Amino acid sequence: MPYVSPGVYVREFDFSQYVAALSTTVCGMVGTAQKGPLNVATLISNEAQFIDTFGEPFTSSMAGYAALQYLRRGTRLLFVRVGSASVDKASVTIKDEAAGTNDALKVEALTEGEWGNDVDIVIAAGTVAGTFKLNVVINNFAEESFDNLVIDSPSDAQFCETVINGTSRHITVEDLTGTFGVPKYGTYDLAGGDNGITGIADADYIGTASPATGLQTLVDPETVDLNMVAIPGISSAAVVNAIITFCETRNDCLGLIDPPMGLDVQGVIDWHNGEGYVHAAFVSNKCALFWPWLQIYDQYSRQNVWVPPSGQVAQAIAYNDSVAEPWFAPAGIVRGHLFEPLSIEYSPTQGERDTLYSGGNAVNPIVNFTRDGINIYGQRTLQRTASSLDRINVRRMLFFAEKSIATSARFLVFDQNDATLWRRFIDLVEPFLESIQARRGLEEFQVICDESTNPDWRRNNNEMNGKIYLIPTKSAEKIIIDFALFPSGANFVEPTSF
């Protein structure tokens, strides 16, 4: 603005912008559950919250086990419950008290699932004359009580739908009567609830774009923040390819692929290469495969159960990020140790691990060492071409850098495309990459944003181009220790042939 009259004018200029650190461990999972919202990405932060929202895990669905395993180390889970066409809410219709023949009130479980079949509704006279009381009883335990309710009077503050719907943690009600009165007193069992397990298909897990269901509820990186994704225990080619496509499209999260249960070493190699199967090889540097399945103790059913590796791997990645950095390998005896499993299907030998991990194969073995327990002992992505991106630690470092820089660079959009903007970009990015370098994620880097990257034709197209060159720090997967013997009196000078 022009300054005309004398005076003191105060202005502010903010040159303190920096690349803000983003969360590195947000896991998305898709699967069936006993209860909870359908096809909604629900944020869960701990085990108790998961049980309260989606119910206890059960052996016909691996997603619950994987979710609880992750939550023992991670604190941000986006869980999407899916179900087949059979999924349904338990309900009951209650007659009126006066005639006993007219439908007065429909009571329905809050969410779909067999859990609703354990809900009883007790209708009794209210404390105030002309009203009724509704008690919610689950497994013979009184959970909720609503007193002095009325029906067929929506404007009344005690109208049953107004009081119960949105307040109850277990039910919703619908007024069906056309006259004043109360529902018939008595105890009523909800029935017809179904978990939606029977007839569930790949399409239910993969979902549709509109309306967004299944995996597709997590697909938009602008509205859903993710770093990992899994559909635990589902190993069909259609679902695996959907996870790969999902991760390639988002370009900011690692897909955890589960193999079928019961495969031996050659079996899992053939499966992931498509040898003898109708599907092609699974290839992507944004996904990783771990094998074999693991046995854990389920404290809810009080029995040992076999679970796919994705839940334990997600837990290990969360632990890795809490004690190290996303560019450290979530593998080995320190960061890849699995505390929960009792045993594994098969512990591959050194020679078998060599085969799983080389020659174009990309299977990360989980190994039971005699003295060191069960450990993740590989960190390959499903990329078969030899490059830095065939390792999970480099892939996750690049995810972190790209997402962090892109998020912060949004504030530069629509600024003047000149040397000042280019300098601002460099000043924004370089300190962030220096931080990663100081924390052992990069060996070297270079940031270029000047006339060489922004020639006339690019500026005329309203584009600004910054180039970032990275040399990632590789993990030491093979430790080689050389010993040399020298005669007495010799100098410790390394022979050239050693």
Give the pLDDT score at 495: 62
Please report, as a single letter, which amino acid is at residue 285.
Answer: N
The number of CA neighbours under 13 Å toward the Cβ of 105 is 31
- Fold agreement between 27-84+199-392 and 91-189: no
Q: What is the phi-psi region of residue 407: left when phi exceeds 0, alpha when psi lies from -120 to 50, beta otherwise? A: alpha
The rounded Cα 43 to chain-centroid distance in angstroms is 9
What span, in angstroms and rounded, lies between the C-alpha atoms of 449 and 467? Answer: 6
- What's the pLDDT score for residue 435? 95
CATH number of 91-189: 2.60.40.4290
Written in H, E and C, the secondary structure of the chain is CCCCCCCCCCCCCCCCCCCCCCCCCCEEEEECCCCCCECCCEEECCHHHHHHHHCCCECCECHHHHHHHHHCCCCCEEEEECCCCCCECCEEEEEECCCCCCEEEEEEECCCCHHHHHEEEEEEECCCCCCEEEEEEECCEEEEEEEEEECCCCCCCCEHHHHHCCCCCCEEEEECCCCCCCECCEEEECECCECCCCCCCHHHHHCCCCCCCHHHHHCCCCCCCCCEEECCCCCCHHHHHHHHHHHHHHCCCEEEECCCCCCCHHHHHHHHHCCCCCCCCCCCCCEEEEECCEEEEECCCCEEEEECCHHHHHHHHHHHHHHCCCCCCCCHHHHCECCCCCEECCCCCHHHHHHHHCCCCCEEEEEEECCCEEEECCCECCCCCCCHHHEHHHHHHHHHHHHHHHHHHHHHCCCCCCHHHHHHHHHHHHHHHHHHHHCCCEEEEEEECCCCCCCHHHHHCCCCCCEEEEEECCCCCCCCCCCCCCCCCCCCCCCCCC
The residues facing 294 across adjacent strands are 307, 344
Query: What are the boundaries of each domain within the chain?
Result: 27-84+199-392, 91-189, 413-498
Distance CA 62, CA 59 (A): 7
Q: What angle do CA 170, 175, 178 make, to 5 degrees?
A: 170
| Residue 295 near residue 342, CB atoms below 8 Å | yes
Quote the CA–CA distance of 149 and 133 in Å, as a whole number: 6
Beta bridge partner(s), residue 287? 255
What pLDDT tens digit does each residue of the chain (498 aa) get?
677 777 677 776 666 677 776 777 999 999 999 999 999 999 999 999 999 999 999 988 999 999 999 999 999 999 999 999 999 999 999 999 887 788 999 999 999 999 999 999 999 999 999 999 999 999 989 999 999 999 988 899 999 999 999 999 999 999 997 666 899 999 999 999 999 999 999 999 999 999 999 999 999 999 999 999 999 999 999 999 999 999 999 999 999 999 999 999 999 999 999 999 999 999 999 999 999 999 999 999 999 999 999 999 999 999 999 999 999 999 999 999 999 999 999 999 999 999 999 999 999 999 999 999 999 999 999 999 999 999 999 999 999 999 999 999 999 999 999 999 999 999 999 999 999 999 999 999 999 999 999 999 999 999 999 999 999 999 988 888 888 888 888 777 666 565
On the 0-12 / 13-18 / 19+ scale of CB atoms within 10 A, 255 is buried
Long-range contacts of 133-136 (CB under 8 A, 24+ apart): 134/107, 134/160, 134/164, 134/173, 136/168, 136/170, 136/171
CATH tag, 27-84+199-392:
3.40.50.11780
**0.85 cut: is pTM over it?**
yes
Q: Which residue has the tokens 């497994």?
A: 139
Residue the block writes with tokens 């499993």:
341
Residue type, 133: K
